[in-house]
Chains A and B, each alone.
Chain A
């Protein structure tokens, strides 16, 4: 009996030959376990979907009620049998409803963790390491340069900046599911009691968080608010909106961005961010390595991100590890980043043409 008989990589995502189901498949399949509601993990059009109640609700918000043929909710700690494979959901600490899926079959345990973080987050249940034989980990921030600082201290930077520039609006870019609501909660913990204004893309999900009992304080849609009223206000928007003409509606805005990528200066500069906040919903390097160790696993499989470094680290610990080279998983942050990197700067492209323009001169 090999672990691959229980779970193995396939072009559509992780597949269980024993249970005949997929975990976070990137294409439509008859039966899927979904770890969390981010669009790269939770796609529409599957036959049957097994996920936490929150993940199912968030998928319905995003895709409409008919996003799958049938759905089944699984609470944390609850198990269900699929063709002889026992599936149990455990909190992943990534966003509201995020779950690690533990698969037990003939005495073998594999944990597919989806995305996770071991740092505290007031908007979701804390990550709980699960003992297993094989642990499947992401490696979004799988390099030792990624060490996320205390989120409260990063949040304080934003609050202080509002104090220093009360005549300017602060636009905070934050991923619309999870990060945005976590920043709202962190701002409240930091004592910022004023209304928070939100971009239209955030309202439904934020309403859902509040309906689940999260107290996020006064939240107002920014649409229709007079420019002058936004002086000194914090406006939360999806990252893509930061570079949009939409930002012209604000008084001399300071653009902030909450993301683990902000750790590296060149990345923040590339995006023209003026106030980078290093706040991530993924585990940092210390978090990844500590979490892997805490599972007591005998083997580590790495799905997406900086696989090589994490695999190398495992090797130095005598832990068997392999990259799965899964494609199709990246946060929206990362997608935008990749697009930006693939494109030469406009000035350099012009410079090329310039060389030709000089021809024919004396």
Chain B
């Protein structure tokens, strides 16, 4: 555990992606099974413990330290787990050597079987055996507050780096594997065959689009591109297949590969096809797509109830087909995939499928015609669904489905008012009835810095969110604080961790007072993008291009 804690500690301080990969790979190389497999589970967010409440930790430390010294220390450090980890008295030197530093794997096993009443004693014994960093990591882990300074994707990339295996290959076998991942390590280290992908419904890394800057179709030929509406929902990948036992397995993934199936049982049950498709998750009532706000109400619910399923029926509007009946369609050009998708959708709908339909194409002959459609989706074919259209998507007819964000094949062209996906950087306590909430948000977008991309603040928003969203953000701010400056808290804002806010605004102006060089008019929080990793937030160049086009 001490070694794993040291890795976590180092990852938290290291900003560079490649360095993080190397640190994790080094750890995996030096750590035996099953310890490294349990660590991999922790790094990929597969371990979720909430065994201990802060109250228990306070009790344990109160039994061991002077209360005045504890309060002075807590006040100074500002984080309960860290304070306790540092203050925890070292056991007497003569203590039995049986107190070897516990392994992470031992702790995880222990937590699963431990009766609640034995937790305080066992926890104290583990803490006695660990060093400061080990205690810190353990306390964060068991209070459910462990934050890993690397994404699951990066951890898998580090595993792939142990051998000569492309990270996407690890991604493909991943869903069929479980802790402690012995067969995965054996495979990447060349000691065993590739593990069978037992999962009949695995996630495939998604293809993403670049934003069209307003000045920008220079050089692109309209005839090379297809256009569809860009829906204001959640991008999902629906995958369905049959297990070896012949059982149907259907999963719904977010675009980052998170399994959303549990939140949408109605949709998962309705999907009946063999393959993987890319589409937008929307709430559809009486054949009309509802606004994102309605979808948000369903997303906000913790538990799935029958009433909610009836009130907020989930639906997929499909726009791409990645596999069908075991055939990988991704190498095919978009035109061929679209034809296969249309045929599939027609069959399903004819068969009575009412939870899936096809995202229609938007015909256009010139960029001017497309701009007109984008400005008036209702008049250009979207009809009553126009309120859920947030722009158009452009896809080259001739390109295969390429994971990542290749430059050129796909473009997104959002509607006005302008929106930008920005990352929450600082939060400040509000005034009046909001004085106990962090309700004023400074957000930033990416720009090139000395060592890779950095976030530069571009504005501040203090409305636009609902009361429920305010609670969510406030909770996030408190749990993700990395610094305090009086009433202001700096929150975690790394490429793989942090909160993306979709900011709507009316216009931009040049500003010499701001480091970013731009000032937003009437910025507000349009929605919270929990589904979006900060690295995918917008870039300053997007705003600069907009600024130029606005004169």
Contact = CB atoms under 8 A, between A and B. Distances in A.
A274 B14 CA distance: 5
A274 B15 contact: yes
Interface residues of B, number: 59
Given A145-B73, A270-B483, A351 B12 contact: no
A357 B66 CA distance: 50
Interface in A118-155: 143-147, 149
B26 A357 contact: no
A355 B461 CA distance: 8
A207 interface: no
A291 to B, nearest CB: 17
A353 interface: yes
B22 interface: yes
A362 B506 CA distance: 9
A244 interface: no
A145 B482 contact: no
Given A145-B73, A265-B12, A275-B10, A354 B460 contact: yes
A269 B440 CA distance: 23
B514 A350 contact: yes
Contacts of A265: 12, 79, 82
Contacts of A357: 459, 509, 511, 519-521
Nearest to A146: B86
Nearest to A168: B19
Contact of A350 (B82, B457, B486): B457
Contacts of A144: 65, 69-70, 73, 86-87
B519 A354 contact: yes
Which of B66, B86, B521 has the most chain A CB atoms inside 10 A of its CB?
Answer: B86
A316 B10 CA distance: 38
Interface string B447-463: 00011000001011010
B13 A354 contact: no
Nearest to A150: B131
B131 A164 contact: no
Interface string B65-95: 1101110110011110011001100100000
B521 A358 contact: yes
B217 interface: no
A362 B442 contact: no
A348 B442 contact: yes
B426 A345 contact: yes
Interface residues of A, number: 43
Given A268-B13, A348-B488, 12 more contacts: A143-B73, A143-B76, A145-B76, A269-B483, A270-B483, A344-B485, A345-B490, A346-B515, A347-B444, A350-B513, A354-B520, A357-B520
B23 interface: yes
B249 to A, nearest CB: 41
28 contacts: A143-B76, A145-B73, A145-B83, A146-B86, A149-B131, A165-B22, A264-B77, A265-B79, A266-B78, A266-B483, A266-B484, A268-B13, A269-B483, A306-B76, A309-B72, A309-B73, A312-B68, A313-B69, A344-B486, A345-B483, A347-B442, A350-B442, A351-B428, A351-B460, A355-B462, A357-B521, A358-B523, A361-B521
A361 B72 contact: no
A276 interface: yes
Contacts of A306: 72, 76
B442 A351 contact: yes
A106 interface: no
Contact of B72 (A143, A157, A268, A352): A143
Contacts of A248: 450
Contacts of B87: 144-145
A252 interface: yes
The DSSP consensus for interface residues of chain A is helix
A308 interface: yes
A273 interface: yes
Interface in A282-330: 306, 308-309, 312-313, 316
Contacts of A274: 13-15
B545 to A, nearest CB: 20
Nearest to B488: A348
A202 B488 CA distance: 38
B66 A313 contact: yes
A62 interface: no
A157 B133 CA distance: 13
B132 interface: yes
A276 B68 contact: no
A86 interface: no
B83 A164 contact: no
Which of B460, B482, B514 has the most chain A CB atoms inside 10 A of its CB?
Answer: B460
A147 B86 contact: yes
Interface in B21-74: 22-23, 26, 65-66, 68-70, 72-73
Contacts of B65: 144
Given A164-B22, A274-B15, A252 B451 contact: yes
Contacts of B506: 361-362
Nearest to B513: A353
A276 B133 CA distance: 12
A199 interface: no
A312 B72 CA distance: 10
Contacts of A263: 86, 132
B69 A143 contact: yes
A346 B515 CA distance: 9
A269 B70 CA distance: 23
Given A143-B73, A346-B515, A164 B521 contact: no
B231 to A, nearest CB: 26
Nearest to B490: A345
Contacts of B442: 347-348, 350-351, 354
Interface in A217-241: none
A166 to B, nearest CB: 11
A292 to B, nearest CB: 15
B425 interface: yes
A351 B457 contact: yes
Contact of A312 (B69, B440, B460, B462): B69
B547 to A, nearest CB: 14
Contacts of A269: 13, 482-483
Contacts of A273: 13
A149 B132 contact: yes
Which of B12, B484, B488 has the most chain A CB atoms inside 10 A of its CB?
Answer: B488
Contacts of B15: 274
B61 to A, nearest CB: 10
